[in-house]
Amino acid sequence: MNGLFISFEGIDGAGKSTHIEHLAQAFRDQGREVCLTREPGGTPLAEQLRELVLHSAMDALTEALLIFAGRRDHLLQVIEPALARGAVVLCDRFTDASFAYQGAGRGFDLQLLGTLESWVQRTEAAPLRQPDLTVWFDLPPTIAAARLSGARAPDRFESQPEAFFSRVAGGYAARAAAEPARFARIDAAAEREAVALQIADVFAARGWLPAEEGAA
């Protein structure tokens, strides 16, 4: 069976974590091996880099290099081997987050991000490894901020002002517009159950899960 690489994107508080575990179970119920992972992070080395990126002050190039260094390790140690085994890789954020946060959010050079993407995502199995599907939780930053307020201690990104998240949201929209076949936009402002149904539809439409399996 072919592996499946699925990433989940959206601004902080968009609802990704709320839905990923349920999807993982739906795939396991179909007898699929599921590799549940995240970025920044996903390997011991990349988790160490994550700690630095989320909690230490640094300039934009340093930040981008650390994130892509972690991504390289994660891709080679975890994602490619899982795909080669035929597993379903569910990844909480991938490179679109770099274009949205470092690019649109921080104003970092998009061309340079594209260069890093092409270096880092070239593997033996793929000239440019990209997710087969990116589930994009789209919702206004005001709603995300309200959901997050008091829910958890903010990291370096979560403590940014709302204008930052408006730019990040715009960055996701631009990536989605550039690659509409890879992106599935979810109206994440909806109630939890309605969001789950939208996600279920996306997976059913691709024939990856039975219609009822994705709904919470």
Q: Which is nearer to ligand ADP, 132 or 158 (CB)?
A: 158
Count CA atoms closer than 13 A to 179's CA, side-chain side.
14
Residue 12 within binding range of ligand TYD, rule CB under 6 A: yes
Identify what 206 binds: ligand ADP, ligand TYD, none; CB under 5 to 8 Å per kind: none
Q: Is 190 annotated as a binding residue?
A: no
Q: Residues 83-112: x/- map of binding to ligand TYD (CB under 6 A)?
A: ---------xx---xx--xx----------
Q: Which is nearer to ligand ADP, 14 or 100 (CB)?
A: 14
Considering only residues 52 through 81, tell me which ones interact with ligand ADP, judged by CB under 6 A.
none
Q: Is 16 annotated as a binding residue?
A: yes
Number of Cβ within a 10 Å radius of residue 161: 9
Residue 14 within binding range of ligand ADP, rule CB under 6 A: yes
Stretch of residues binding ligand TYD (CB under 6 A), selected from 34-42, 111-119, 185-193, 199-207: 34-42
Stretch of residues binding ligand ADP (CB under 6 A), selected from 66-74, 104-112, 190-198, 206-214: 190-198
Find the shortest distance in angstroms from Cβ 97 to ligand TYD: 4
Q: Which residues contact 199 (CB under 8 A, 6 or more apart)?
A: 19, 23, 135, 186, 214
Q: Residues 37-56: x/- map of binding to ligand TYD (CB under 6 A)?
A: -xxx-------------x--
Q: Is 187 annotated as a binding residue?
A: no
Instruction: Name which of 135, 107, 122, 161 is nearest 8 in CA terms.
Output: 135
Residue 12 within binding range of ligand ADP, rule CB under 6 A: yes
Instruction: Name which of 182, 25, 1 is nearest 83 in CA terms.
Output: 1
- 183-187 and 88-92 beta bridge pairing: unpaired
What is the Cα–Cα distance from 213 to 115, expressed in whole angstroms? 39
Which parts of the chain are beta strand (E)? Answer: 4-9, 34-38, 88-92, 133-138, 183-187
- 88 φ/ψ angles, rounded to the nearest 5 degrees: -95, 115
Cβ–Cβ < 8 Å for 16, 147: no
What is the Cα–Cα distance from 95 to 68, expressed in whole angstroms? 8
Binding site for ligand TYD (CB under 6 A): 12, 38-40, 54, 67, 92-93, 97-98, 101-102, 157-158
Give the residue ranges of the annotated binding site: 10-17
Binding site for ligand ADP (CB under 6 A): 10, 12-18, 147-148, 151, 191-192, 195
